[in-house]
Amino acid sequence: MMTNKGVILSINISKKKGEQKIPVESAIVTKRGLEGDAHSGDWHRQISLLSEKSIDKMRGKGVEIHYGDFAENITIKDLDLTELLIGQRVKIGEEVLLEVTQIGKECHHGCAIREAVGDCVMPKEGIFAKVIIIGKIKVGDTIILIK
Q: Per-residue pLDDT for 26 more than 90? A: yes
SS3 85: coil
Say which residues have a Cβ less than 8 Å from residue 43's Cβ, sequence separation at least 6.
130
Q: State pTM to two decimals.
A: 0.90
CB 71 within 8 A of CB 122: yes
Render pLDDT for 11-20 as a digit per residue (tens, 0 to 9). 999 998 877 8
pLDDT for 66 equals 87
Percent of the chain with pLDDT over 70: 86
- Closest by alpha carbon to 2, among 69, 72, 79, 64? 79
Residue 144, pLDDT above cutoff 80: yes
Interval 103-139: pLDDT, tens:
987 666 666 666 665 667 776 788 999 999 999 999 9
Q: How many angstroms separate the Cα of 79 from the Cα of each of 45, 91, 111? A: 20, 12, 26
What's the mean pLDDT when you consider all of the chain? 88
The per-residue pLDDT for 82 is: 83
Q: What is the CATH number of domain 5-145?
A: 2.40.33.20
Backbone angles phi, psi at 18, to 5 degrees: 80, 15
**How is the chain split into domains, by residue range?**
5-145
Can you give the pLDDT at residue 115? 66
Q: Write the pLDDT tens digit of every residue in 35-62.
A: 999 989 999 999 999 999 988 887 877 7
Residue 1 pLDDT > 50, yes or no? Answer: no
